[in-house]
Amino acid sequence: MKTAPSFYLKILGASILFAFGLIFLVGCDGSNSGTFSFKSKPEKRLRFAISVDGLTNPMRNYQVALLERLIRTRPGIDLTLLDARGDMAVQGEQLKKMITDGVDYLFVFPQNVEVCVPIMRNAKIGGAIVVAFAEKVPADACTTSIYTEERHLGNVAGQYVLAALKKKAEDEGSAEVKGRLVQLTGIEDSLITRERSMGFLEAFKEAPGVKIVHEAAANWIEKDATERTKEALKLQKTFDVIYAQNDFMARGANVAMLEGGTLAREALFIIGTDGAIGKGGGIEMLMHGDIEATVYQPPLVDKAWELVKRTLDEPEFKIEKTYRMKPFVITAESAEDIMRKGLPAPELERF
């Protein structure tokens, strides 16, 4: 039986040739390409993180929800949301841990810029794209900063109020511009509250007849604004304008006026800030006659996502260091146009 070994060798050789033939016909990736190939390694998932100072401000809630929704439209991304709940120390620790764990794209709403800057700088040194939603962030601490200047938001509101009071004086044949103003602010002594207040007051430097007769913190909350407005009515009896640092407080002021008082609602001008589109937002308030005007605050995150997408799709794209977005006043008339056509594209402010 000397021929047996050669017989089995022939069968073994044929089997090996057949197996290689299948590989070449099917391919290692399971396709019928007729060529030999190895399966490619799965693409690395990108790690995104949003670090937010807190979600008590309705506008911040809106920004974060919109940014989350935009990020999740793109596959291959793991997203982490870090809420500091208004505690700058907590935000600092959360950022440090995120950087230690490794992050590719970091979006930061700083509670305190000075606390966050060294940590963001480390993230950038580590290779992360760092987007800061704040002004006055050093260029070496972030890839870009995108913001609307808070003082300018207040000043835009003040300038619009001043123009309305000038028109009133003109209609009444008065040479002096006069006005009694109530200001409802956000959280007392917060950076946003201080900056918007200063910007609002700056508008009346050359109008001594325009005075703030009552100011109260309403913590961004509609119910608190209703109570603070009722207190203003008891103390001041009459005033011409209520400026609320967000639209929810503006609507709270409107509720207080409708619930009764010595001052007729028709005699009062209420202006808010934010101008969010959608159910319950400032645009809807204008359409319902709850407020007379609002200062549109760009959400910023739509611009941020536009830039991030370009870095992902266009490797040669370079993000600018700063993008300052332009606010503008929306009235009931312009709100109708916005409801039909949507908000205009965000504009950059040149400075």
- Residue 300's pLDDT is 95
- Residue 263's pLDDT is 75
pLDDT per residue as tens digits for the range 67-107: 999 999 999 999 999 999 989 999 999 999 999 999 999 99
What's the average model confidence in pLDDT over 27-45? 51
Q: Do 154 and 292 belong to one domain?
A: yes
Q: Which of 23-27, 33-37, 39-43, 219-223 has the highest mean pLDDT?
A: 219-223
What's the average model confidence in pLDDT over 2-13? 42
- Residue 29's pLDDT is 44
Q: How confident is the model at residue 134 (pLDDT cuts 50, 70, 90)?
A: very high
What's the average model confidence in pLDDT over 241-261? 93
How far is the C-alpha of 173 from the C-alpha of 121, rounded, in Å? 58
CB 144 within 8 A of CB 320: yes
Q: Do 265 and 315 belong to one domain?
A: no
What stretch of H or E contains 285?
Answer: helix 282-288
- Please check whether residue 19 lies inside any domain of the structure: no
Give me 283's structure tokens. Answer: 């645009």
Cβ atoms within 10 Å, residue 263: 16
Q: Do 186 and 196 belong to one domain?
A: yes
Q: Which of 9-13, 296-300, 338-342 has the highest mean pLDDT?
A: 296-300
CB 149 within 8 A of CB 324: yes
What's the average model confidence in pLDDT over 127-150? 95
Q: What percent of the chain has pLDDT over 90?
A: 73
How far is the C-alpha of 256 from the C-alpha of 227, rounded, in Å? 7
How far is the C-alpha of 259 from the C-alpha of 335, rounded, in Å? 26
DSSP 134: S
Task: Kindly report which listed range (8-22, 69-83, 336-350) carries the lowest average pLDDT score.
Answer: 8-22
Provide the domain count of the chain.
2
- Residue 194's pLDDT is 94
Q: Do 132 and 230 belong to one domain?
A: no
pLDDT per residue as tens digits for the range 148-199: 999 999 999 999 999 999 999 999 999 999 999 999 999 988 889 999 999 9
How far is the C-alpha of 250 from the C-alpha of 293, rounded, in Å? 10
- Please check whether residue 164 lies inside any domain of the structure: yes
- Please check whether residue 2 lies inside any domain of the structure: no
CA proximity to 147, closest of 277, 59, 264: 59
Q: Do 264 and 308 belong to one domain?
A: no
CB 108 within 8 A of CB 131: yes
Q: Do 102 and 186 belong to one domain?
A: no
Is 331 exposed, middle or buried (CB count within 10 Å of its CB: 0-12, 13-18, 19+)? middle
Inform me whether the pLDDT recorded for 4 exceeds 70: no
What's the average model confidence in pLDDT over 219-230? 96
Q: What percent of the chain has pLDDT over 70?
A: 87
pLDDT per residue as tens digits for the range 298-331: 999 999 999 999 999 999 999 999 999 999 999 9
Exposure string of 139-167, with b = 16+ CB inside 10 Å and e = fewer, is eebbbbbbbbbbbbbbbbbbbbbbebbee
Q: Which of 281, 296, 311 is the last residue before a domain boundary?
A: 296
Q: Which domain holds residue 92?
A: 46-148+299-320
Q: Do 287 and 203 belong to one domain?
A: yes
Q: Do 124 and 164 belong to one domain?
A: no
Q: Do 292 and 159 belong to one domain?
A: yes
- Please check whether residue 338 lies inside any domain of the structure: no
Q: Do 157 and 200 belong to one domain?
A: yes
Give me 52's structure tokens. Answer: 């937010």
Give me 334's structure tokens. Answer: 């312009």
User: The sheet that has 241-244: what strands, in order across it?
Assistant: 210-217, 179-185, 241-244, 269-274, 293-296, 328-331
CA proximity to 278, closest of 269, 286, 266: 286
- Please check whether residue 111 lies inside any domain of the structure: yes
Q: Do 105 and 202 belong to one domain?
A: no
- Please check whether residue 120 lies inside any domain of the structure: yes
Inform me whether the pLDDT recorded for 110 exceeds 50: yes
- Please check whether residue 188 lies inside any domain of the structure: yes
- Please check whether residue 30 lies inside any domain of the structure: no
How far is the C-alpha of 88 from the C-alpha of 112, rounded, in Å? 6
How far is the C-alpha of 5 from the C-alpha of 53, rounded, in Å? 78
Longest dimension (CA), the chain: 128
How far is the C-alpha of 255 from the C-alpha of 230, rounded, in Å? 10
The domain that holds 85 is classified in CATH as 3.40.50.2300
What's the average model confidence in pLDDT over 192-215? 96
Q: Do 162 and 230 belong to one domain?
A: yes
Q: How confident is the model at residue 265 (pLDDT cuts 50, 70, 90)?
A: confident
Inform me whether the pLDDT recorded for 12 exceeds 60: no
